[in-house]
Chain A
Amino acid sequence: MLNQLTKSVGRVVRAAAIAAVIGGGIAAASAQDITGACATFPGPIYTKWGEQYKATGAGALNYQAVGSGAGVTQIINRTVDFGASDTPVASERLASNNLLQFPAVIGAVVVVVNIPGVDGANLKLNGAVIADIYQGRIRMWNAKEIKDLNPGVTLPAVAIAPAYRADSSGTTNIFTSYLASVSLPFQTNVGAGNSVPWKTGVGAPGNAGVAAAVKNTKGGIGYVEYAYATENGMQAPMLENRAKKFVKPTVAGFNAAASQANWNNAPNMAASMLNMSGDTTWPIVSATYVLVPKNPSDPVRAANVLKFFDWAFKSGGPAADQLHYIALPKAVQDQVRKKWTTISANGQPVWK
């Protein structure tokens, strides 16, 4: 038996050694790889950029769309190379954890619905009604409040099934910040945040999960990042904006919001784009942010992260257009690059 055992142990050890050599070889070949635990809101664009970036011969991006809350936590714990959050992180938290925050891309949150017999894309909703739906105050699609917004549309007597993010997410933060800003009851009863105490509805994991939940439930309503809605052919109703106009979610509408953001005076480059004025402006627009350590322990990997985003700023525009995101304005990109020079490892600047 001992012989048998030593033999088999020997085999195992040899196999492990071979595996280690092969593994090491592959690891060496992919030393430029970077890992990000990120918000799901920019998920589609980051993965797309990652694929195109890899095709240029650079390293691969391992992007796990786990939610903004996780994105921030993982970078604070330094378990990933960069974190991403859809909502700006408070200045004190950035300072105490030695993090640099910069916007990466701009996107919009849309409401998606699944109402039998109704063309959701032409439905009209406003913030107050959506806030009431998510508080369980409006429970049927043929409720008076919704009818009043949609004269002439036959709404079925179908119960409303609200879906929300089960995980902590920046999309939720953007959406609830918007609802809280237009509905006082929502602000007091539910509040705004990455994960809030919903009064009704079901939780699904990730943008994708919410999209799936709405798709699979009759009478469903949910909120997702615009790219998820378009990629999956979902119906996104019109919303009433600050100028009291009903607008469809379009890239022009997002651009209108983005162009009004006040980048220069925003601390940590966190410029608000929620509920901006203008006739064509889509009301729920926000930048998504990337977090990197200011004092990285591994300067090479830190530089790889910056190289990736530098590439994305320079060449990622078409992909952003294609997925209905908005690339950062050129001036803002330059501001971001200037910020990168403050990152240093062992006294050496990482970005030159």
Chain B
Amino acid sequence: MRTLSPAVKARYFRRQAADLIMSGLCIVAAIIGIIMLALILWMLFSKGLTGLSLDVFTKSMSSTGTGGGLANAIVGSLIQVGIGSMIGAPLGMMVGVYLSEVGKTSPFASVVRFVNDILLSAPSVLIGLFVYQIAVSPFGGFSGIAGALALALLAMPVVARTTEDILRLVPQAYRDGAIALGSRENEVVRKVILPAAFGGILTGILLAVARIAGETAPLIFTSLGNSNWSTDLTKPMASLPIAIYRYAGSPSADLVQLAWTGALLITVGVLLLNVVSRVSLAAVKRGQS
């Protein structure tokens, strides 16, 4: 066996050392990052759980700053997120179908795809301003429906994006086969493509719901918040994120506690939605390949 020259050996050690150092730094970075995030979650749970009681779900805000609960905020959030998804999800689905099945690489489709990607990460505070200008100011009042509209605009691009991605996973042979059997284009989409991708699209909708459930900034300008129980869509409506925002800045210990509990509830809800959708997405992708 040939012996290696010292120069080659030295270079080998330099390379190994560089690898070790950089890998080590990356591991350290990963540890720092993960510990940091774990600390935040731990704090959220420890502070949020102490305030968790039945009152949180059954009572609305109390005027005196002691006691009270989040019932109105939870229901308000459910209503606004529900209606927001009901408007945003079908629209987003149609955009996704357009991009994947009709527009494809046409110039207009490229523009739509690009714009949708921008909307996907556009500052949500601007969506709130926009909806205030078109749906609050002209109609003379903050309202739950304006909040739902703002959330719909945030949900739409998420659903559009996932729908397109999922439809692209549907094998081309499905389309060719359906057309060969004499199906119309709308039938191909409705009876073949969408059923094949149903699980994946549902996942996208769940992700969109998770995204809009935690949005605060757009609701400040649209549904305002409400200290009482209200399910009237034409009036200001409470929501969990706004309740958290208002209570967290309060000097009353009880309200701050309520803000932590609210933050815990919303985080757990959002994470659960994410887990469910990811698990089902994985199943869908396995089924496709």
Contacts and interface: CB of A to CB of B under 8 A. Distances in A.
Given A12-B86, A208-B252, A232-B252, A33 B231 contact: no
A78 interface: yes
Contact of B198 (A1, A60, A211): A1
Interface stretch (B115-123, B219-227, B280-288): B219-227
Given A5-B194, A64-B225, A27 B231 contact: yes
Contacts of A79: 136-137, 140-142
Interface residues of B, number: 33
Contacts of B233: 23
A127 to B, nearest CB: 25
B267 to A, nearest CB: 22
Nearest to A206: B249
Contact of B249 (A37, A77, A204): A204
B86 to A, nearest CB: 6
A4 interface: yes
Contacts of A4: 195, 198
B77 to A, nearest CB: 14
B198 A62 contact: no
Nearest to A52: B63
B225 A205 contact: no
Interface size class of A (residues with CB under 8 A): 35 or more
Provide the main secondary structure of the chain B interface. Answer: loop
Nearest to A297: B140
Interface string A33-47: 101010000001001
Given A23-B232, A27-B231, A62-B230, A1 B140 contact: no
Contact of B141 (A26, A44, A78): A78
Contact of A64 (B79, B226, B229, B252): B226
B195 A1 contact: yes
Nearest to B63: A47
Contacts of A1: 190-192, 194-195, 198
Contacts of A206: 249-250
Given A1-B191, A208-B251, A26 B231 contact: yes
A62 B236 contact: yes
B235 interface: yes
A35 B225 contact: no
A155 B257 CA distance: 34
A37 B252 contact: no
Given A33-B235, A62-B235, A79-B142, A51 B63 contact: yes
B183 interface: no
Contacts of A47: 63-64, 227
A48 B151 CA distance: 32
Nearest to B62: A51
B33 interface: no
A30 interface: yes
Given A26-B232, A50-B63, A63-B227, A78 B140 contact: yes
A77 B86 CA distance: 29
Interface string A165-207: 0000000000000000000000000000000000000001110
B190 A2 contact: yes
B2 to A, nearest CB: 68
A22 interface: yes
A64 B230 CA distance: 14
Interface string B128-157: 000000001100111000000000000000
Nearest to A9: B90
Interface in B233-264: 233, 235-236, 249-252
A48 B191 contact: no
A48 B198 CA distance: 51
B65 interface: yes
Given A12-B86, A48-B63, A232 B251 contact: yes
11 contacts: A1-B198, A26-B232, A27-B231, A44-B63, A44-B65, A62-B226, A64-B236, A204-B249, A208-B250, A209-B249, A231-B65
